[in-house]
Amino acid sequence: MGNFNGRSVVVTGGAQGIGRGLSEGFARAGASVTIVDIDKASANQLTETLRDDGFTAQWVFADVSRAADAERAITSAIAAYGGVDVLVNNAGIQPMGSYVNVEAETEEGWDRIIGVNLKAHFLMSKYAIPSMRERGGGVVINIASVQGLQSQPLVPAYAASKGGVLSLTRNMALDYASENIRVVAINPGTIDTPMVRTQALAAGNEDELVEQWGGLHPIGRVGQPSDIANAALFLASDQASFITGEHLCVDGGFMAQGAWASETAD
Ligand code: NAP
């Protein structure tokens, strides 16, 4: 889907999980991909595999919540591939110890989650947009979450970060629409990634729980990183040229359900 030949695409958290699916999807569609990640082993392995398969990719070690790292990541994409056409702000964290209410959340824990899940989207966009402008336009795709729309208990920082990403998406879309820079968001449902596997493993019955979580989605399964990549390829393509400031739930129907969904109508 889509022809990204000659396009430079930056994927944060691009070495594992949803980010890996995004990096693979854009590389296969012809893009030159800059994988930005802190997981050296995974990033190295993915970059080598993509190159061995004849695709164009590099990786940059950067903590995207830090301004200097974010700027360096964008500078590396420009140096290698001439600029940035598409930025996918995907890196995000939901640490195991963060399932607490606001009284129990620490300032440090709050700042780390907001830093990676929200501030990094701002930083990466700040440094990428001048290059998009120079190239006549571009697309920013923010990976948010269904938790930006509704919340589960005990995730104050995560839920706030994802709601913030959706607000930032709408704001940036307005600020840059006249310059042909579109800004959109994707809200994944449960996707089979290391983040989700870690949570399931901590609960003790990994495969069983992942299957159970899949059953909560009307389509009857958890999503795969490729499900998110396919949506991103469309949103980044010229076929989506009239879509900006919008979010797309890629969630197997999860957000379509009401609390009364399992009740039988009289
Ligand atoms: P994941 O499996 O944990 O993969 C995330 C990748 O990002 C990892 O390689 C991680 O490295 C890297 N990373 C973490 N912090 C970083 C930082 N500061 N700078 C650069 N790279 C960093 O996560 P995922 O499940 O694919 O989630 C990706 C995004 O989708 C997140 O924004 C998440 O909130 C969102 N999302 C996921 C789901 C889901 O069900 N999986 C649902 C809704 C939304 P390390 O492993 O070394 O930390």
Segment 134-187, tens digit of pLDDT = 999 999 999 999 999 999 999 999 999 999 999 999 999 999 999 999 999 999
Task: Tell me the mean pLDDT in the region 259-264.
Answer: 70
Q: Which of 169, 146, 171, 168 is nearest to 159 (CA)?
A: 146
Give the distance (Å) from ligand 1 centre to CA of residue 64: 12
Residue closest via CA to ligand 1's atom 23 equals 195
Model confidence at 250: pLDDT above 80 = yes
List 81, 99, 127, 158, catalytic entry = 158
Looking from the CA of residue 228, the nearest atom of ligand 1 is 30
Q: What share of the chain is helix, strand, coil (3-state, %, to 5)?
A: 50, 15, 35
**Integer Cα distance of 215 and 198 in angstroms:** 19
pTM of the full predicted structure? 0.98
Annotated active-site residue 158? The verdict is yes
Segment 64-110, tens digit of pLDDT = 999 999 999 999 999 999 999 999 999 999 999 889 999 999 999 99
**What is the pLDDT, as a whole number, of residue 265?**
54
Ligand 1 contacts CB of residue 232 (under 6 A): no
What average pLDDT does the structure give for the chain? 96
Residue closest via CA to ligand 1's atom 10 equals 13
**DSSP β-bridge partners for residue 210:** none
Give the distance (Å) from ligand 1 centre to CA of residue 130: 26
